[in-house]
Amino acid sequence: MLTSFRELLDERRAAGAAAGAFTCYDVTTALGVVQAAEARTAPVMFLVAEASLRRPSGRLLLPALLAVADAARVPVCVQLDHVTDDALIDEALAGGIGAVMADGSKLPAVDNVSFVASVRRRSGVAGVEAELGHIEGGEDVAAATEAGALTDPRAAGAFVAATGCDCLAVSIGNVHGRYAAPPQLDWERLAAIRDQVKIPLSLHGASGLPDTDVRHAIALGVCKVNVNTELRERYLVELEAGLPAARDGLKLLDLEAGVVDAVAAVVAAKLDVLE
């Protein structure tokens, strides 16, 4: 069932858990996410990449994901991930998206504040997530990446107050895509941010983080964990493995079922860590 961003995060925080947020480039991935979430009775989020919405078929993907989310037997929120384009944000809001990740992290600090505050004003009941500091790496490619500018705990409280954002993405040594070196998350920094900020925190770039790190982050205030790279890896491995048998007899349903199961296995393993 479609559930609001704030409601979903508040429930997770009260449970001492985090919501898994999974990038869905297609409906097949969303089916795998729901399969795992229903088996675990866990709420989840579908993340929609900006690149997906910019494709010619993008206007059709959002309503499809919203329909899957609504039909699911667990709470689901659909969020537009990392976006800076106001027109695209407004289009997604008009299309009924449940949340927006208003990513002004590459802008000068003052512009990040005004951008997020403006999105918050326009978003109504939809949730707004912002980013302070900068999480390096592309969301849609998986190059090895070093950590970017870390979130300044002293700036975090004022940033949240000035923007009115509902969730803050922290940069504490986490990156998008593949880690160039074993990740070293800055726990003191995360604890200091948590002390300055009342709203739920999110951790991006969870693919490649040890489970113990993810659990520690949740204990320090993280209520949302974004996963993308691992899903795509398993999706493609399964697609390749299932293709010869499927081609023989044009068994498209079997091929898709294999991919759905593979995605669900990755999601289920993540959800077990987030509980």
Binding site for Zn ion (CB under 5 A): 204
* Closer to Zn ion by Cβ: residue 201 or 260: 201
* Closer to Zn ion by Cβ: residue 35 or 226: 226
What span, in angstroms and rounded, lies between the C-alpha atoms of 190 and 110?
22
* Crossing angle between the packed helical segments 187-196 and 153-163, to the nearest 10 degrees: 40
What span, in angstroms and rounded, lies between the C-alpha atoms of 147 and 151?
11
Least gap, CB of 176 to Zn ion (angstroms) = 5
Least gap, CB of 103 to Zn ion (angstroms) = 8
- 156 in helix, strand or coil? helix
Q: Which of 70, 81, 254, 261 is catalytic?
A: 81
CB atoms within 10 A of CB 57: 10
Chain position carrying tokens 């993280």: 222
User: Which residue's Cβ has the minimum distance to Zn ion?
Assistant: 204
What span, in angstroms and rounded, lies between the C-alpha atoms of 2 and 61?
16
HSE of 217, CA atoms in CB hemisphere, 13 A: 31
Q: What angle do CA 65, 86, 104 make, to 5 degrees?
A: 95
* Closer to Zn ion by Cβ: residue 6 or 204: 204
* Closer to Zn ion by Cβ: residue 48 or 246: 48
Least gap, CB of 273 to Zn ion (angstroms) = 18
What span, in angstroms and rounded, lies between the C-alpha atoms of 98 and 63?
12
> Is position 81 annotated as part of the catalytic site?
yes
**Among all residues, which ones are annotated catalytic?**
81
